[in-house]
Structure 1
Amino acid sequence: MATPDTTSATTPSHALVVGSVALFTDMLVHGLAVPVLPLLPSVVARGPAATGVLFSAYAAAMIVSTLFAGRVVDRRGPRMPLLIGLVGLAVATPLFATGGPYWLLLVARLAQGVAGGMSWVAALSLIAATTSLERRGQAMGIAMSTITLGVLIGPPLSGFMVERLGTAAPFLLAAAVALADGMLRILLVKDSPRVTDDTAGPRQVLRVPGSAAIVTAIAIGAGVLSAVEPVLPVHLGAGSLLIGLLFALASLAAILANPVVGRCVATAPPRLLIGSGVATASASLALIGWADRLWQTGVAMALLGVSSALLLAPATTLIGEQGLRVDPPTLGGSYALYNLAYAAGLSLGPLLAGLGVQRAGFTAAMTTGAVLLVAVGGTVLPGLPRTVP
């Protein structure tokens, strides 16, 4: 069983505040970029495929930095990765505000991804190192909920600011939020406590039977919504505010659906919930591709949010149980594997969508994506546990 580092000057409450704000800031900056980047002239000129690369660059850098962050946390504790993440945000936000050229925006996305990978692993590790195992699940739930909050607030706020104040305004706001976040990291994290009980890593959790199927479900849940981010704004030709509201609708639907699905996790078979998520995600992509009215796109985006809850809520519970089956049991390894799977979905979704739209057109790409989801889902479902342990 875990025991917090009693010599640590970082209290559990301070760790929870710092970790939650770090996760919120990262996803807020990510959400602020959604309605803006695809419509910048330097990005539009490069085409849908380059737009997809721009969006997937964040997740690709996040995957790489997550691996390094895990090693740094193991050796030196969470404080250093938190500060590295702060530097990444400090680099990314002013580069976004320039509006281009394309290569500079790509550098900004990579810096943002490095910051995200470092901040996610360090934030969750900081909470784990200062919180007893009995209370750790509740603390992690609070921290993870701030991710959804950042995704919900970011797009509509960005759209509003772009229409009123210009394309640089959201990123100047992001810089201010990052500054406040950085002050909390510096002032509240006095030392660098280390986790003493989570000795196994994500590789050990992945070896547990059933983990591969759960990881695939997590990647699908992250990848479906992110696949729409770089291509829908250009397809609709709408303003940033409307685009932001559509993505906020998906996030709101996910927030409303998450507690409902969460209550069902203990009683309903995971295969039923995740299978329903795959079916709903497939239907929403098809509807987005064929919609010729705005309200139809709105319905599809809401369904996309519901599918995210159906996929991620059961998978989040299951991946934690997989970590408990490792010898010795690990919670940190489960969260690291979750982060890697989530980042993989964020990377592949925009990349495949951008290439598909450029080669086959928007409707064909969305329809193909819907068919692929059904095919992948059919291979994933049999590998899932029949019940939640």
Structure 2
Amino acid sequence: MTSPTRILWIAILASFVSFLDGTIVNVALPAIDRELGGGLSTQQWVVDGYLITLGALMLLAGSVSDAFGRALVLRIGLVGFGVASVAIALAPDPLILVIARLVQGAAGAFLVPSSLALITSTFSGAAQAKAIGTWTSFTTGAMVVGPVIGGVLVDLAS
């Protein structure tokens, strides 16, 4: 059996990466244009494609999580997100990059509702409120640190 603290940290990390990727890429846009080309339209699709699929599929992902189980949907989301991240890193051209970002957004949509559902099914009462507050603060923090982490990655790893 997994401890509630471990479940909380898994849920936090799952939603953290989903929201982090919404902002982290913004500082990499000039490097993406330099390395892959595609101009402004590619840059827009790299950012917006992720956010569109993330936002459009989040409610559906919550229903899928209820129907097939929180842990399974979270695992599928994490695997999909990881595979899409590797595809993004290895993208040879703008089209593959945009497609991988669309897939990554879809996988990210499966992470957020299932991670919150995991918390609500694991904790109750005051512990649940504290766990949701912790989850929310880290998820919000991802949007703040995304550009900083993106800048470091672009400078150090391209």
Letter aligned with residue 138 of structure 1: K
Given the alignment, which residue of 44, 49, 59 partners 1:67?
59
**CA displacement at 1:150 relative to structure 2:** 2.3
Given the alignment, which residue of 15, 20, 27 partners 1:28?
20
The aligned runs of 1:11-26 (5 Å cut-off) are 11-26=3-18
The aligned runs of 1:19-98 (5 Å cut-off) are 19-41=11-33, 45-98=37-90
Structure 1 or 2, whichever has the larger Rg, is 1
Tell me, yes or no, if the aligned pair for 1:61 and 1:114 is still in contact at 8 Å.
yes
Tell me, yes or no, if the aligned pair for 2:7 and 2:118 is still in contact at 8 Å.
yes
Tell me, yes or no, if the aligned pair for 1:124 and 1:140 is still in contact at 8 Å.
yes
Aligned equivalents of 1:29, 1:10: Cα separation in 2: 27
**CA displacement at 1:45 relative to structure 2:** 4.2
For residues 38-70 of structure 1, the C-alpha deviation after alignment (integer angstroms, 9 at most, x for no partner) is 431378843334422321111221134323322
**CA displacement at 1:18 relative to structure 2:** 1.2
Aligned equivalents of 2:12, 2:18: Cα separation in 1: 10
Aligned equivalents of 1:133, 1:33: Cα separation in 2: 38
Tell me, yes or no, if the aligned pair for 1:10 and 1:130 is still in contact at 8 Å.
no
* 3-state SS of paired residue (2:38): coil
Residue ranges of structure 1 left out of the alignment (5+ in a row): 1-8, 168-389
For residues 258-310 of structure 1, the C-alpha deviation after alignment (integer angstroms, 9 at most, x for no partner) is xxxxxxxxxxxxxxxxxxxxxxxxxxxxxxxxxxxxxxxxxxxxxxxxxxxxx
Q: What does residue 111 of structure 2 align with?
A: 119
**CA displacement at 1:96 relative to structure 2:** 2.0
Letter aligned with residue 140 of structure 1: I
Q: Is the helix fraction higher in 1 or 2? A: 2
For residues 305-330 of structure 1, the C-alpha deviation after alignment (integer angstroms, 9 at most, x for no partner) is xxxxxxxxxxxxxxxxxxxxxxxxxx
Tell me, yes or no, if the aligned pair for 1:37 and 1:43 is still in contact at 8 Å.
no
Count, aligned residues: 158
Tell me, yes or no, if the aligned pair for 2:18 and 2:109 is still in contact at 8 Å.
no
TM-score normalised according to structure 2 size: 0.84
Q: What does residue 131 of structure 2 align with?
A: 139
The aligned runs of 1:1-389 (5 Å cut-off) are 9-41=1-33, 45-165=37-157, 167=158
* 3-state SS of paired residue (1:20): helix
Aligned equivalents of 2:30, 2:116: Cα separation in 1: 31
Letter aligned with residue 28 of structure 1: L
**CA displacement at 1:115 relative to structure 2:** 1.8
Sort the Cα spacing of 1:73 and 1:161 in 2 relative to 1 into closer, same or farther, 3 A. closer
Aligned equivalents of 2:41, 2:83: Cα separation in 1: 25
Sort the Cα spacing of 1:43 and 1:30 in 2 relative to 1 into closer, same or farther, 3 A. farther
What RMSD, in angstroms, separates the aligned Cα atoms of the two structures? Answer: 2.4
Sort the Cα spacing of 1:42 and 1:160 in 2 relative to 1 into closer, same or farther, 3 A. closer
The alignment-based identity, stated in percent, is: 29
For residues 12-50 of structure 1, the C-alpha deviation after alignment (integer angstroms, 9 at most, x for no partner) is 322211111112222334443221134313788433344
